Amino acid sequence: MEGQDAPPELTFEERFAAARAYAMRSLARRESAESELLMRLRKQGHDEAVSQAVLDYCRDHHWVSDERYGAMAVRAGAAKGHGPTKIRFDLRRKGLSDAELELAFAQPELDWFELALALLDRRTDGVALKEFKPRMKWLKFLLGRGFSQDQARYAIATLQERAEQEEQQS
């Protein structure tokens, strides 16, 4: 083993090309926040300079964008029945700034009050909400999903009113 040379050290360009190829494959699978991509590059063993250069390259070519990721994550979270508080918390953990969060939540088609109502309507009927204990259970459920107190109370009150109207009609 004494006569063998160690493999030659890769140049910055070679390491950059390998990291960029990894980033392209990663972003082709799913949209990512910039901080997620940077973390994945580091986890792959790429040094800080290469990882940052690849992130800058991806940002310059519009392959990664926290604004686009934020808007997509808000829509996806709403579709899963998550409220704005939970989604905002998750996006903050991913490294989005307050300005990026405001842009992500500036989607007029999302009415959080109606989304809370639709979620509750899928899970229970208004008759179950007559009693205090079940009402509190569903309030806690909506709060746990990330809806505000006002949004949860609106959903419960609206569902209760519907049940009362149906009861009076029959």
Residue pLDDT, tens place only, 23-77: 999 999 999 999 999 999 999 999 999 999 999 999 999 999 999 999 999 999 9
- In the structure, what pLDDT confidence band is assigned to residue 21 with cuts at 50, 70 and 90? very high
Mean of per-residue pLDDT scores for the chain: 91
Q: What is the mean pLDDT of residues 83-111?
A: 93
Alpha-carbon gap, residue 80 to 145, rounded angstroms? 10
Q: What is the pTM of this model?
A: 0.81
The pLDDT, as a whole number, for residue 98 is 92
Structure tokens given for 159: 């569902």
155 and 116 in contact (C-beta within 8 Å)?
yes
Q: What is the mean pLDDT of residues 133-146?
A: 95
**Count of residues for the chain?**
170
